[in-house]
Amino acid sequence: MASLFPASFVDPWRDLIGAHEKEQANDFPSYSSTALEPLITTSTPTELFVGTGHTIYERALLPAIRNAKRSVHLVTCFWADSPTANSIRATLFELAASRASQSDLPTLHITIGFSSRGLFQKLFHTSSRDGHVYPPSEWKALKLPDQQTLRSGSIELTVKTLFFSPISVMHPKYLIVDDTVAWVPSCNISWEKWFEGCVELRGGAVNSLLSFHERVWGLGTSQGATAFSDDAQPIDDPAEQPTDSSLTGNTNASRIGSADDLSPTQSVKLALGSTPTILLPSSHHRNPGFSWIPFLRKPNPPMTPLNAALLTLFANAQTSIVLVTPNVTAKPVINAILAALVRGVSVEIRTNESMMLIEQLITCGTTTSRCMNKLMKEYSRLALAHARRAQSDLEAQPHPLGQLQIFYYQHRWEREGEADEPVVSHFKMTMVDDRYLVLGSGNMDRASWWTSQELGILFYVPGFSEKVLWERALRCRGRRAFPPA
């Protein structure tokens, strides 16, 4: 499979991981440079969704759960009492009732994994990699149906949490249904009206995701092992493959606000076929190496597959880098952006000016707006020095500096009362040279690069025109911060 992905990326990416693999030997899970082949695969992306987290669940993930036959693996970071949690509860009740009215159905194994529910839960959470399995008596507090209701529909549920103090959360978000189809959203189970994205895919990448899932969430008690048993095997016979409609429901009919040109609630069917794909895990780290004393801080991030991939993409970018991220506070990212600009690569950043300020200060001691202001000043200094060199030596013209553009998210005031109008952007997307596309859970902040477990997925998609889906929604919700209008 490796030959399908350009060697110009795979080789330096593998080398970068190999140069640091001893430091990452105890990662959860760990990936050495000689064990990356299972991550290098293909996939068939079938649909993209944007909108709020609630609309993405309503239009993409919940219809898939309703039509599951053998297994459902739902993983998120934050689980909160919210409209989305209520919708999950209603979906499970509906699924149990539907299955109870049928006979001779195989047991449907549902596993739910999350990391954060509240301060009290995190303060007293076990530090074991086995995590904590919630007994059925505690499901009600999570807005989940009782065990008797689920078993009436031949449904076996396991709910598990993983968290490592002080601030190491499991940040990936994904859904795998019947071991054949996966959805990778950016959203949590929460009440926030944030702009989010999601990709649906099939193919080899789903197997890679299943392997990652079992390594992280399949360890632990006998209850957890039951949920990850071999009862539900992947469907290999093409004749037995479920159709798109059987898993996703009538997505076109469930679109919300499609008549509103300004609505961010949109989706697009993809016709990409088999696409070179790399799954990019990034393991959690309990010691993030942060210190309030600058010279005591760990300067380099853990060289996980995701971190190494992003650094490789930035270092080898030739024409353009586009970042959409909730926050930008990771120094390796900012340094890589400056280096790319010096090489003549254009950089566009879309982020938030004041999102999760307390979290930023706790995890990195700074904020996105401060980091962006420093980036703007440094770029202006480089541009001035560049212009002076050009004037002093007319014959030896220096390489042109890349163009820097920075936009802060700003919601549409005329849609402020609409249920699907996001107040901030939580979408994570990296596009390099209009060929490499990274989606998933990882932000460009210090927490994602040093502390939390993340999961990205890298597609090689030259000329990916479907990016207009999120571009259309974000361009009318962006305030230019640099260069000044």
Which residue ranges form the domains of the chain, and what is each CATH number? Answer: 48-217 (3.30.870.10), 276-482 (3.30.870.10)
More confident: 101 or 293: 101
- What does DSSP assign to residue 296? G
pLDDT at 23 exceeding the cut of 90: no
Quick check: 169 pLDDT over 50? yes
Span 164-186, average pLDDT: 87
Binned at pLDDT 50, 70 and 90, residue 234 comes out as very low
Higher pLDDT, 125 or 444: 444
Give the CA-trace dihedral at 62, 66, 69, 73, to 10 degrees.
Answer: 30
One-character DSSP codes across 178-247: TTTEEEEES--BSS--EEEEEEEEESHHHHHHHHHHHHHHS-SSHHHHHHT-TTS-----GGGPPPHHHH
* pLDDT over 60 (residue 176): yes
Question: Which of 451, 412, 409, 480 lies closest to 196 in space, CA to CA?
Answer: 409
Find where tokens 């390099």 sit: 432
Average pLDDT of span 369-395: 89
Which pLDDT score, from 0 to 100, does residue 251 have?
A: 33
Q: What is the pLDDT of residues 248-258, one digit of tens each?
A: 333 332 333 35
- pLDDT tens digit sequence for 345-371: 999 999 999 888 888 887 778 999 999
| Residue 295 scores a pLDDT above 60 | no
Residue 186 and residue 426 in contact, taking contact as beta carbons nearer than 8 Å: yes
Tell me which of 208-222, 285-299, 312-326 is least confident: 285-299
**Cβ atoms of 159 and 133 closer than 8 Å:** yes
Q: How confident is the model at residue 269 (pLDDT cuts 50, 70, 90)?
A: very high
Report cis status (omega within 30 of 0) of the bond before 462.
Answer: no
How far lies 395's CA from each of 35, 386, 387, 400, in Å? 50, 14, 14, 14
- pLDDT tens, residue by residue, 95-109: 999 999 998 899 999
Supply the pLDDT for residue 285.
64
Q: Which of 411, 433, 438 is nearest to 422 (CA)?
A: 411
pLDDT digits (tens, 9 = 90+) for 311-355: 999 999 999 999 999 999 999 999 999 999 999 999 999 999 988
- Show the tokens assigned to 111: 């596993």
Distance from the Cα of residue 262 to its chain's centroid: 25
- Give the model's pLDDT for residue 249: 34
Average pLDDT over residues 217-223: 49
Phi, psi (rounded to 5 degrees) for 347? -130, 130
Residue 394 pLDDT more than 80?
no
| pLDDT higher than 80, residue 242 | no
More confident residue, 220 or 467: 467
Q: What is the pTM of this model?
A: 0.88
pLDDT band at 138 (very low <50, low <70, confident <90, very high): very high
Tens-place pLDDT, residues 116-136:
776 656 666 667 778 889 999
Predicted pLDDT at 291: 55
Least confident of 20-24, 87-91, 187-191: 20-24
Helical (H) or strand (E) element with 446: helix 446-446
Confidence at residue 123, expressed as pLDDT on a 0 to 100 scale: 65
Q: Which of 208-215's residues contact partners 24+ apart within 8 Å by CB, and which partners?
A: 208/38, 208/39, 208/41, 208/279, 209/174, 209/176, 209/182, 209/279, 210/73, 210/176, 210/179, 210/234, 211/38, 212/29, 212/279, 212/281, 212/455, 213/73, 213/75, 213/174, 213/176, 215/29
H/E stretch holding 404 reads strand 404-409
Q: What would the two tokens of residue 482 be?
A: 């640099």
Q: Look at the block and give the residue holding tokens 């002076």.
A: 388
350-362 b/e with 16+ CB inside 10 Å = b? bbbbebbeeebee
Cis ω for the linkage preceding 294 (within 30 of 0): no
